[in-house]
Amino acid sequence: MTSASTVPQASAALIGESVRLPNAAGLHARPAAMLVAEAKKFQSIIRLLRDGEEVNAKSVVAIMGLGTQQGDAIQVKATGSDAEDAVRALSALLAQGCGEAHEATHEVAPTPPVALVAASTSFVSSNVLVGVCASPGLAVGRVVQFRQVTIDVNECGETPALERGKLDAALLAAADQIELLKLGLGDPLGVKILHAHLALLQDPDLLELADHGVSQNQSAGLAWREAFGQTASRLEALPGAHNALLRERGNDVRDVGRRVLALLAGVSTAQIELPAGAILIADELTPSDTAALDRSKLLGFCTTGGGATSHVAILARSFGIPAVCGIHEGALTLAQGTLVVLDGAQGRLSHSLEEGEITLALAEVAQQTAQREQDKLGSAHAAVTTDGQRIEVVANVRNAQEAQEGVALGAEGVGLLRSEFLFDDRLTAPDEDEQAAAYCAVAQALGPQRTLVVRTLDVGGDKPLPYLPLPREDNPFLGLRGVRVSLDQPEMFRAQLRAILRATGLARLHIMFPMIATLEELREARGILAEEAAATGHSDFLVGVMIEVPSAALLAEQLAREADFFSIGSNDLTQYTMAMDRGHPKLARQADALHPAVLKMIALTCEGARRHSKWVGVCGGMASDLLAVPVLLGLGVQELSVSVPAIPAIKALVRRLSLADCQALAQELLQLGTAGEVRARLAAFAP
Ligand code: PEP
Ligand code: MG
């Protein structure tokens, strides 16, 4: 493993066009691993260039060490027999976001279903240790302290050849362990993280560092410890706040490093043993520690290190358990078995509580669990308000599997099929047959009685596709985005429409266009759809408009004359109404969908639709927010398209609401001045 790879024939270096990185957090572990996997398919020596710096494109740690940021201009340089193909493929992959363009920019952090989130609790005492929320939820359990064991190594080795052999064997054994862990982990994100760990085990820069130590007569253990220690420290020392994510990737390098080191030293890194009802407290937890935890016994965890972006936090969210990172050091001194309350949403760990406080917390956990179970029990029934208004609760999905999960939880259909997920993470567009198979699979999962709303391709600007030759734009959010891309690329648009139309009859087919800003756009898109429908003999479908920009809300009455329904994309409608980027680290919190300005846009939309007896749905994150549902109903929204786990709770809430009360509430809220005032009034509105 540590031996030198084949050196390609000497030839002139080829340098590609510069590519602007779309990744919100730069090239951190996962995109770097994907880039390296692609680079390794080529014989050529490949380097990444940025501002005069140059690193090995086949080394994850070298790429991470570059400390890239979103928007950085990167060039690919290759030398060797397949240099041209390498430059082309890697430049395209970089432009595409190395597998995460959408992950980074697309989803507004969903409001977790209320049942998982602790409300502001009344049991907090002065014995509270504070950190940051890594994963929401509330748990009462007993402290289990965990510390990494120190692994000692011999300093001097035998011959370099023998030490090299030991290191190679440990690297192979570590890869086997990680593969095993991957098998036991259903969560795709966790699998991706472990995949990045596997790439680290083959990282040429890391291996070269270790090999250098071995050739200086160091033992394999010492050489390896120095190599991964130096690499991790370099990542952790990267300057600038934007590199928090990269610094945390030092944790990944240490994690993999310790695994190999333990194998070299013959120390067991067995799974952390947990008693039932455990709340784990550690200074650091490596991602593989976390992945290997017994989830049937773990209620939550706290770490003094790390942050909300760490892999550990990501894993906790996918497990659905509360976690707090960066907790006060005092947590490390709590005795084993101490009874504590962990409030993930508030980032608090409370200890030394009075019996009454524990009782209160336990009651709250029990109430949340019971509520969740009860919501699930009733989720197959329709969502009808106490005064008889039927609200259709449907799901936001990306594929047939999610559609099935939605139906199992009571979704009455799909209100938003994000078709763009078929188009990203690849180097060429899916053809008509491939698309048709995917749309038909979703439709079949629903059946002819259920609604399927397919959104046509919603990419461009901030969500580039490598195979779409779109110009670089200064203001991508105001550029070629949504339906504008489809109108700019009519052949691709027509192929998508033909593919969608093939799902006619398998479900109640609806087709909607994203980011319509003008009537002309709707007419043009509808015209093309009509031509394709006529050519293929399909007519049984409805046509909708996503209301995502203020001009569409202001033109709702005119649009409603020519569309069959509206679906409000509240994520975009909020950012365009407030002129605040929905992903901006400082502004995103103020870009609040409950701002009265956004509510007025929704009111205008509903009013325009009502004049022509058309229905209005909401498919942005706001529809999954229990706080927002009463005002949406009161403004006239009749369909809520929500994240799959939120379906039971949203349906249950609708059943507790009176439409008349919601209407009165909505009128009141439209008069308020700030999002804070709206939120306060909504919090006091108990159905
Ligand atoms: C929205 O903008 O609210 C929406 C549903 O679209 P996306 O989040 O995919 O842009
Ligand atoms: Mg949108």
pLDDT above 90 coverage of the chain, percent? 53
Which range is least confidently modeled, 14-18, 425-429, 444-448, 552-556?
425-429
Select from 441, 390, 187, 450 the least CA-distant residue to 293.
187
pLDDT over 90 (residue 464) = no
Max alpha carbon distance in the chain (Å)? 86
d(CA 487, CA 70): 28
pLDDT over 80 (residue 410) = yes
Name the band, by pLDDT with cuts 50, 70 and 90, for residue 537. Answer: very high
Instruction: Write the CB contacts of 280 (distance below 8 Å, at least 6 apart in sequence).
Output: 144, 146, 272, 274, 293, 298, 300, 301, 302
Tell me, in angstroms, the distance from the centre of ligand 2 to residue 178's CA.
38
d(CA 366, CA 372): 10
pLDDT over 90 (residue 506) = yes
Ligand closest to 398 (CA) is 1
pLDDT over 50 (residue 5) = no
pTM of the predicted protein model = 0.61
d(CA 604, CA 594): 15
d(CA 147, CA 281): 9
Whether 23 is in the pocket of ligand 1, judged by its Cβ within 6 Å, is no
Q: How far out from the chain centre does Cα 263 lie?
A: 34
The whole-number pLDDT of residue 321 equals 84
- Contact of 159 with 218, CB cutoff 8 Å: no
- Alpha-carbon Rg for the chain, nearest whole angstrom, is 27
What would the CATH number be for the domain defined by 378-684? 3.20.20.60
Nearest ligand 1 atom, CA 416: 5
Tell me, in angstroms, the distance from the centre of ligand 2 to residue 283's CA.
39
Question: Among 619, 622, 625, 642, which residue has the most ligand 1 atoms within 8 Å of its CB, making it the best to mutate?
Answer: 619
Whether 364 is in the pocket of ligand 1, judged by its Cβ within 6 Å, is no
The whole-number pLDDT of residue 148 equals 78
Question: Among 106, 108, 571, which residue has the most ligand 1 atoms within 8 Å of its CB, making it the best to mutate?
Answer: 571
- Contact of 262 with 226, CB cutoff 8 Å: no
Tell me, in angstroms, the distance from the centre of ligand 1 to residue 687's CA.
28
Tell me, in angstroms, the distance from the centre of ligand 2 to residue 59's CA.
36
DSSP assignment of 536-578: HT----EEEEEE-SHHHHHTHHHHHHH-SEEEE-HHHHHHHHH
Whether 569 is in the pocket of ligand 1, judged by its Cβ within 6 Å, is yes
The whole-number pLDDT of residue 132 equals 73
Ligand closest to 619 (CA) is 1
Tell me, in angstroms, the distance from the centre of ligand 1 to residue 101's CA.
15
- Average pLDDT in the chain: 85
Whether 571 is in the pocket of ligand 1, judged by its Cβ within 6 Å, is yes
Bridge partners (DSSP) of residue 339 are 142
Instruction: Write the CB contacts of 333 (distance below 8 Å, at least 6 apart in sequence).
Output: none
Number of neighbouring beta carbons within 10 Å of residue 152: 11
Which range is least confidently modeled, 4-8, 26-30, 418-422?
4-8
Whether 641 is in the pocket of ligand 1, judged by its Cβ within 6 Å, is no
Nearest ligand 1 atom, CA 622: 3
d(CA 181, CA 191): 9
Name the band, by pLDDT with cuts 50, 70 and 90, for residue 318. Answer: low
Question: Among 424, 454, 548, which residue has the most ligand 1 atoms within 8 Å of its CB, making it the best to mutate?
Answer: 548
SS3 category, 144: strand
- Contact of 415 with 647, CB cutoff 8 Å: no
The whole-number pLDDT of residue 528 equals 98
Name the band, by pLDDT with cuts 50, 70 and 90, for residue 278. Answer: very high
Whether 619 is in the pocket of ligand 1, judged by its Cβ within 6 Å, is yes
DSSP assignment of 39-57: HTTSSSEEEEEETTEEEET
Ligand closest to 570 (CA) is 1
Number of neighbouring beta carbons within 10 Å of residue 126: 6
The whole-number pLDDT of residue 103 equals 41
pLDDT tens across 480-498, in order? 999 999 999 999 999 999 9
Tell me, in angstroms, the distance from the centre of ligand 1 to residue 569's CA.
5
Residue nearest to atom 9 of ligand 1 (CA): 106
Whether 96 is in the pocket of ligand 1, judged by its Cβ within 6 Å, is no
Tell me, in angstroms, the distance from the centre of ligand 2 to residue 109's CA.
13
Average of per-residue pLDDT across 6-35: 76
Tell me, in angstroms, the distance from the centre of ligand 2 to residue 493's CA.
18
Whether 419 is in the pocket of ligand 1, judged by its Cβ within 6 Å, is no
Whether 574 is in the pocket of ligand 1, judged by its Cβ within 6 Å, is no
Catalytic residue numbers? 311, 619
User: Higher confidence at residue 248 or residue 503?
Assistant: 503
**Which CATH number does the domain 108-149+271-371 belong to among 1.10.3720.10, 3.50.30.10, 3.90.1200.10, 3.90.550.10?**
3.50.30.10
d(CA 482, CA 475): 14
Nearest ligand 1 atom, CA 572: 2
Whether 103 is in the pocket of ligand 1, judged by its Cβ within 6 Å, is no
pLDDT tens across 76-125, in order? 999 988 999 999 999 999 998 887 754 433 333 333 322 222 333 333 34
- Contact of 606 with 558, CB cutoff 8 Å: no
pLDDT over 50 (residue 469) = yes
Name the band, by pLDDT with cuts 50, 70 and 90, for residue 249. Answer: confident
Question: Among 458, 459, 598, which residue has the most ligand 1 atoms within 8 Å of its CB, making it the best to mutate?
Answer: 458
Average of per-residue pLDDT across 329-344: 92
User: What element of type H or E holds 273?
Assistant: none
Whether 368 is in the pocket of ligand 1, judged by its Cβ within 6 Å, is no
Which range is least confidently modeled, 395-409, 419-433, 527-541?
419-433
**Which CATH number does the domain 160-265 belong to among 1.25.40.20, 3.40.50.620, 1.10.274.10, 3.30.420.40?**
1.10.274.10
pLDDT above 70 coverage of the chain, percent? 87
Ligand closest to 421 (CA) is 1
In one-letter notation, the amino acid at residue 167 is L
pLDDT tens across 126-175, in order? 588 987 767 777 999 999 999 877 888 888 888 999 999 999 999 999 99
Whether 570 is in the pocket of ligand 1, judged by its Cβ within 6 Å, is yes
Nearest ligand 1 atom, CA 418: 9
Q: How far out from the chain centre does Cα 634 lie?
A: 31
pLDDT tens across 343-382, in order? 886 778 999 888 888 999 999 899 888 888 899 999 999 9
Question: Among 105, 459, 546, which residue has the most ligand 1 atoms within 8 Å of its CB, making it the best to mutate?
Answer: 546
Would you put residue 388 in left (φ > 0), alpha (ψ -120 to 50) or beta? left
What are 349's two structure tokens?
Answer: 């760990």
The whole-number pLDDT of residue 123 equals 34
d(CA 669, CA 683): 12
Tell me, in angstroms, the distance from the centre of ligand 2 to residue 572's CA.
5
Ligand closest to 643 (CA) is 1
- Contact of 205 with 59, CB cutoff 8 Å: yes
Across the beta sheet with 132-135, the strand order is: 128-130, 348-350, 339-343, 138-146, 278-282, 298-303, 323-325, 132-135
pLDDT over 90 (residue 314) = no
CA separation, residue 572 to residues 391, 499, 543, 577, 585 (Å): 23, 26, 20, 8, 16
In terms of average pLDDT, the best of 562-576, 580-594, 618-632 is 562-576
Q: Would you list the domain boundaries of the chain?
A: 13-101, 108-149+271-371, 160-265, 378-684
Ligand closest to 462 (CA) is 1
**Which CATH number does the domain 13-101 belong to among 3.30.1340.10, 3.40.50.2030, 3.40.109.10, 3.60.20.10?**
3.30.1340.10
Tell me, in angstroms, the distance from the centre of ligand 2 to residue 110's CA.
14
Average of per-residue pLDDT across 551-562: 98
Nearest ligand 1 atom, CA 619: 5
Name the band, by pLDDT with cuts 50, 70 and 90, for residue 188. Answer: low
Nearest ligand 1 atom, CA 108: 8
User: Higher confidence at residue 188 or residue 515?
Assistant: 515
Whether 482 is in the pocket of ligand 1, judged by its Cβ within 6 Å, is no
Q: Give the pairing type, strands 45-50 and 14-15.
A: unpaired
Tell me, in angstroms, the distance from the centre of ligand 2 to residue 150's CA.
49
Residue nearest to atom 4 of ligand 1 (CA): 569
pLDDT over 50 (residue 216) = yes
Whether 548 is in the pocket of ligand 1, judged by its Cβ within 6 Å, is yes
Ligand closest to 622 (CA) is 1
pLDDT tens across 593-633, in order? 999 999 999 999 999 999 999 999 999 888 988 889 999 99
In one-letter notation, the amino acid at residue 310 is S
Tell me, in angstroms, the distance from the centre of ligand 1 to residue 631's CA.
19
The whole-number pLDDT of residue 239 equals 61
